[in-house]
Structures are given as C-alpha cells and as structure tokens.
C-alpha cells in the first residue's frame, strides 16, 4: 500500500496542477475573439440554432413564418451538422421526418435496379427535404446526400403534422411548395424525355445555373461543384458525353472554365440552342 503521507502529497499536487490548468484554459477562453469561437465549430460552420434570429431568413418554406410558428419550430426541431457524403435519408426508407437545410448543398438522386443513377435536384439552404414523402405517408422517393459539410434541422413526421394543424399559414406554404415540386417534376420529365439531344439538355442545365447571376450583357458566373459524372446523372447521359459537350461549348465560346468558376458568356446563345431543336 502507498503510505498515507505520500498519498496526501500526490493528491495535493494533482489538485494544484488541476487548478493551474483550469485557470489557464479560462483565461485563454475569455481572451478568444467571438469570431474565433464561431470558426471552431465543426467544419468551420456558423451553427444556426435559433430560427427566429437566423441571419439567412428569406422567402423559404419554414424560414419566414410568424414569431409564434418560429418558436414552435425551435421546440420541435433538432439541429445537427453533417460531413460531406453523409446520407440524410435513403430512397425507399420509411419517411420519419423532414430535414430543413440551413447550410451546405444536398444531392437528391434515385437509382434503378441496374445501378443507373439520376440526380433530380441539387438542394440549397432553405429547402425542406423529404416533404413529399412525409406528407403523403410513403417512403422517401430519393436519396439525400450532403455534397459538402452543412447543417440541417430535423423535424419528426408526427411533430410536423401537428405543427401544420396548429399553424394554417405554414400548411398553406406547404401546399404551395408541393405544387411547385409537382411542376418541377414535369419539367424534369420534359427535359429528360423530350429533349432532342444531349446538347439541348446541357444548354438547359447551364441556363438554369445562370438564372440567379446574369449580368446585363447576358453573361454570368457560377461555382462549379459537380463532377462530369454528376452532371451526366442530372441530364441523363454519360460522363464521356459531358466531357465532349464541355469541349464543344468552350470552342464555340459559349462558356469558359476558370478553376472552380464557370463563366457562361451568353444566355442568349444558349437559348438559341434550346429553341433550335
């Protein structure tokens, strides 16, 4: 056994070291700049924990509701940060709730039995993922995969349905969103099934990317985060065809790649390609 006197000295020394360490950590923490503390969040993200004080509130489904509805959302949601490649839900899985995307991008896709994959949408912050399945009470129709680190708030199905009963304004917004989803699905079918050539599909995709950032001269710049394989899965063709289309469109000076930035030189020229088929 360790002598009592020596044991007491060890305990005393350990307490002294612990107190010194605690004081040092406390001083360092108090000296930190608030912005530095934010950057130490997982993946360098600014965690948005309160829907009512979120600086990114805009005209999205659940991002601009009344104060009362926002307070209830805070009560029923759970916040989590996900790494790139994380699966929020999988096609065919029982719809247990929706994910409100706060930051990052999510790839929605469906896969055939033969393994062929089609990307149906690239979701941006503000989108509510899994809404169709949750409201309809059917399994998720797509797989949702994080394309980059981001935050999503999860709302269980039962809690969401009760929330919509309590707040008719939110229920009306959901009905409008489901109608837009219906319209978007038909547009995707039109593009995949009725487009005459891969060039037309590719031109339509570039037009959809340039909508938010078009300059007065018809040019725009977009950040290209998709691989050629992923672009092929969006327009329903092969990776080799997409690589060939990139080369053709560059030679025709319809676009230019500058690192991760894609410069679309003229919307008008792309619109002519679409109208020519």
Q: Which of 145, 176, 193 is the last residue of a domain?
A: 193
HSE toward the beta carbon, residue 212, CA cutoff 13 A: 4
Same domain, 176 and 91: yes
User: Is 255 found in the same domain as 224?
Assistant: yes
Q: Based on the domain organization, do 114 and 125 belong to the same domain?
A: yes
Beta-carbon contacts of residue 153 (< 8 Å; ≥ 6 apart): 51, 73, 77, 78, 79, 80, 99, 100, 102
Q: Are residues 149 and 55 in the same domain?
A: yes
The verdict on residue 46 lying in a domain is no
Using a 10 angstrom Cβ sphere, with 0-12 exposed, 13-18 middle and 19 or more buried, the burial of residue 7 is: exposed
- How far are the Cα atoms of 106, 112, 113, 142, 198 from residue 117, in angstroms, in the given order? 15, 7, 10, 11, 17
Q: Is residue 226 part of a domain?
A: yes
Pairing relation of β-strands 117-123 and 150-156? Answer: unpaired
What distance lies between CA 47 and its chain's CA centroid?
A: 14
More confident residue, 63 or 89: 89
Q: Are 162 and 68 contained in the same domain?
A: yes
Tell me how far CA of residue 102 lies from CA of 86, 125, 248, in angstroms.
Answer: 15, 5, 37
Q: How far is CA 176 from CA 120, 137, 156, 172, 183, in A?
A: 19, 18, 21, 6, 11
Considering the domain architecture, whether residues 142 and 255 belong to the same structural domain is answered as: no
Q: Quick one: DSSP state of residue 44? A: G
Q: Is the pLDDT of residue 131 over 90?
A: yes
Q: Which residues contact 122 (CB under 8 A, 6 or more apart)?
A: 105, 106, 107, 108, 147, 226, 234
pLDDT of 234 higher than 80 = yes
Taking residues 258-263, report their average pLDDT: 86
Calculate what percentage of the chain has a pLDDT beyond 90.
Answer: 47
Name the residue range of residue 83's domain.
Answer: 51-193
Tally of CA atoms within 13 A in the half-sphere of 179 that contains its CB: 6
Query: How many domains are contained in the chain?
Result: 3
DSSP tag of 213: G
Residues 154 and 261 placed together within one structural domain of the fold: no
| Residue 273 structure tokens | 């390609």
In terms of Cβ atoms closer than 10 Å to its own Cβ (0-12, 13-18, 19+), residue 175 is exposed
68-111: per-residue pLDDT in tens?
A: 988 999 999 999 999 999 999 999 999 999 999 999 999 999 99
pLDDT at 65: 81
Q: How far apart are CA 132 and CA 108, in angstroms?
A: 13
| 187 and 203 fall within a common domain | no
């Amino acid at each position: 056994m360790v002598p009592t006197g020596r044991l007491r000295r060890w305990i005393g020394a350990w307490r002294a070291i612990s107190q010194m360490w605690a004081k040092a950590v406390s001083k360092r923490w108090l000296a930190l700049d608030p912005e530095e503390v934010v950057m130490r969040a997982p993946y360098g993200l600014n965690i948005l924990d309160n829907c009512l004080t979120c600086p990114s509130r805009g005209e999205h489904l659940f991002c601009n509701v009344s104060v009362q509805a926002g307070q209830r959302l805070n009560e029923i949601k759970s916040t989590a940060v996900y790494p790139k490649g994380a699966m929020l839900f999988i096609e065919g899985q029982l719809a247990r709730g929706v994910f409100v995307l706060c930051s990052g991008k999510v790839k929605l896709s469906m896969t055939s039995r033969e393994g062929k994959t089609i990307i149906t949408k690239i979701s941006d912050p503000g989108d509510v993922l899994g809404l169709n399945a949750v409201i309809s009470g059917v399994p998720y129709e797509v797989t949702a995969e994080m394309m980059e680190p981001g935050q999503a708030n999860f709302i269980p199905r039962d809690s969401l349905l009760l929330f919509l009963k309590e707040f008719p304004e939110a229920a009306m917004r959901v009905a409008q969103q489901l109608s837009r989803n219906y319209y978007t699905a038909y547009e995707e079918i039109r593009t995949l099934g009725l487009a005459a050539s891969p060039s037309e599909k590719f031109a339509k995709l570039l037009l959809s990317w340039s909508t938010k950032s078009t300059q007065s001269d018809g040019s725009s710049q977009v950040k290209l985060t998709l691989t050629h394989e992923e672009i092929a899965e969006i327009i329903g063709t092969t990776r080799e065809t997409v690589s060939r289309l990139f080369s053709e469109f560059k030679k025709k000076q319809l676009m230019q790649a500058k690192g991760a930035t894609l410069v679309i030189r003229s919307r008008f020229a792309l619109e002519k390609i679409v109208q020519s088929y």
